[in-house]
A and B are shown apart, each in its own frame.
Chain A
Amino acid sequence: MGILLDTAWATLLDAAPIALVILVFQGAVLRRWPAHLREVLTGAAYLLLGLALFRLGLEWSLLPIGSHLSDRLAALGGAGEGAAAWHRFGWLYAFVATLGFATTLVEPALIAIAERVREMTGGAVRPWPLRLVVAGGVALGLLLGTLRIVTGFPLAWSLAGLVGVIAALVALAPRQAVPLAFDCGGFATSVVTVPMVAAFAVGVAAAIPGRDPLTDGFGVILFALLSPVASVLAYAALLSRTPRSRGTGGPHAV
């Protein structure tokens, strides 16, 4: 119970500045309280309780399991004679990709916003396919990010490649899907993916000979941030080119 209280208190402190901002602007500047004040306050309590439980649950389960597994799998490939060749880490790649896919499905901001997008489009954009496409993007991103740690490919050129692919897909995708696609990267790298990746990337960099955890352990989240942008753009471009599916889903259906 003590740990739960500590986590709840920490979450409350995290939310304090923003509560203050809203309070000042509602009370002192606008001099108007929001409609359904009781519901909003109840919702805020749910939100903080939920976030505290969620974070505590992550700390107990997902974060230790994730870093334990990736350390072991990286050691599996790093062991043995000679330089660590990139193809020796097959299990590690399989793990980070499937893990990225699965963690994105429990990313709360993405769940909530996908639902909001459904309401906004009158059901034209269905939440489940959107979340699957974003999860696929994160899976690919973590795979590429881990491959980069193993091969030591320069981060700046990785960014250049990702931005190039996104620019090309922006030209192909319907214009109205572009802002949502860009935001999906941010929705996907939130309360689960960021600590998860932080927990395993440094461990992987430490387990692979010739990599410095301090410099090579960072930058994996960049891939998880940008590759869902590409996957959602590609999905929207694909949907807009298949006339039969028009109106049944996809971010192009406004």
Chain B
Amino acid sequence: MERLPAFLRVLLENARDLAPLLAVVAFFQGAVLREAPPELAQKLGGAVLVVLGLTFFVRGLSMSLFPLGEGLADTFARRGNLLLLLAFAFAIGFGSTVAEPALHAVTLQAGEAAAAAGLVAGGEEGVARYALVLRYAASVAVGLAVVLGCLRIVLGWPAVWLLLGGYALVTALALAAETPLLGVAFDAGAAATSAINIPLIAALGIGLASVIRGRRPLVDGFGLVALASLMTMLAVLLGALLAG
């Protein structure tokens, strides 16, 4: 029972976080469009669910994925088996991305955009196949990004060169090659990292940087999530260029 006040406090904090959103929606509905939103009751119920869900999610994260990710990084680093660590890094990146619903949605849209541009033949089936290939390519890209990110932490390379260099490469590709899938490639990069894999990948980096001598968690532990988005963009962009 002594946990209850803390839970309530967090619940109130999250309600406070939602308040600006309610204010924005209320202002534009009421003052600009001058109409009540349709099905108001369901929308208010949705807002209550958002606050409740947020509270449980963040609490669950600090109890499960954070300690689990950091603990695993710690165990692997102490084993001293680099190959095993990298295999785990790949599996985490791939496994946490392949079922990501936002990525699923974006790859389907990409398939439709590709079909409309005449890059994919075979109607709906062709679109679905293209989307599936894209989703696996993005998941492999995230897996490779986590491998590369872990290798970077172990070897002590600064993250900035990898990230800036990667973005320079994506920019060069985007400027050099015309493809209707450019926007989709960028959106897939952002969609590949979401609620489950971000905390897990971040925890892996932080855990690794905490246990390896000479690395600082804040400086060396971050950068994995950004690398995952970047590698996904590269993979989808290269896929689009090869298809076209």
Question: Which listed segment binds A: B119-127, B128-136, B179-187?
Answer: B179-187
Interface of A (DSSP majority class): helix
Shortest beta-carbon distance, A101 to chain B, in Å?
7
The B contact surface, by secondary structure, is: helix
In the complex formed, the residue of B with least CB distance to A20 is B95
Which residues of chain A have C-beta atoms less than 8 A from B95's C-beta?
Answer: 17-18, 20-21
Is there an interface contact between A52 and B222, defined as CB atoms closer than 8 Å?
no
Which B residues form the contact surface with A (CB < 8 A)? 14, 17-18, 20-21, 23-25, 27-29, 32-33, 37-38, 42-68, 71-72, 75-76, 79, 84, 88, 91-92, 95-96, 98-102, 105-106, 109, 112-113, 116-117, 158-160, 163-164, 167-168, 170-171, 174-175, 180, 182-184, 186-187, 189-191, 193-200, 202, 206, 216-226, 228-229
Cβ–Cβ contact A99 & B24, under 8 A: yes
Stretch at the interface among A80-88, A174-182, A240-248: A174-182
Chain A residues with Cβ below 8 Å from B79 are 30
* B residues less than 8 Å from A178 (CB atoms): 159-160, 163
Q: Are A35 and B220 in contact (CB under 8 A)?
A: no
- A116–B50 touching, CB < 8 Å: no
| B46, A56: Cβ atoms closer than 8 Å | yes
CA distance A69 to B37 in the complex (A): 9
* Distance between Cα atoms of A198 and B100 in the complex (Å): 15
A179 partner, pick from B62, B100, B160, beta carbons under 8 A: B160
* Chain A residue with the shortest CB-CB distance to B110: A218
- Report A-chain residues with C-beta under 8 Å of the C-beta of B198: 109, 113, 186-187, 190
A–B Cβ pairs within 8 angstroms, 10 of them: A18-B92, A106-B54, A116-B202, A155-B174, A155-B186, A167-B164, A179-B222, A194-B190, A215-B117, A254-B219
Top 5 A-B pairs, shortest CB-CB distance: A43-B63, A218-B183, A61-B46, A60-B46, A50-B57
A47 contacts B60, C-beta separation under 8 Å: yes
Complex: chain A residue closest to B13, CB-CB = A111
- Report the nearest A residue to B220, measured CB to CB: A179
Q: Is the CB of B167 within 8 A of A166?
A: yes
The reply to whether A43 and B62 contact each other, CB–CB distance below 8 Å, is: yes
Task: Determine whether the beta carbon of A222 is less than 8 Å from that of B187.
Answer: yes
- Chain A interface, number of residues (Cβ within 8 angstroms): 108
* Pairwise interchain contact B64-A44, C-beta atoms closer than 8 A: yes
Q: CA–CA, A219 to B73, complex, Å?
A: 34
Known: A54-B50, A194-B191. A69 touches B28 (CB 8 A): yes
Q: Which residues of B contact A112 (CB under 8 A)?
A: 57-58, 61-62, 66, 199
* Docked complex Cα distance between A25 and B32 (Å): 55
Judge if A191 is at the interface, Cβ distance under 8 Å: yes
Q: With a CB–CB cut-off of 8 A, which chain A residues contact B48? A: 57
A172: CB under 8 A from chain B?
Answer: no
Residues of A within 8 A of B223 (CB): 179, 182-183
- Bound form: Cα–Cα A46–B158 in Å: 36
Contact, CB under 8 Å: B196 / A14: yes
Q: Are A54 and B57 in contact (CB under 8 A)?
A: yes
Whether A15 lies near B196 (C-beta < 8 A) is yes
Rounded to whole Å, the gap between the CB of B153 and the closest CB of chain A is 10
Find A47's partner among B27, B65, B76, B99 (CB 8 Å cutoff): B65
Q: Are A65 and B43 in contact (CB under 8 A)?
A: yes
- Tell me, in angstroms, the Cα distance from A205 to B144 when the chains sit together: 34
- Do residues B187 and A47 form an inter-chain contact, with CB atoms below 8 A? no
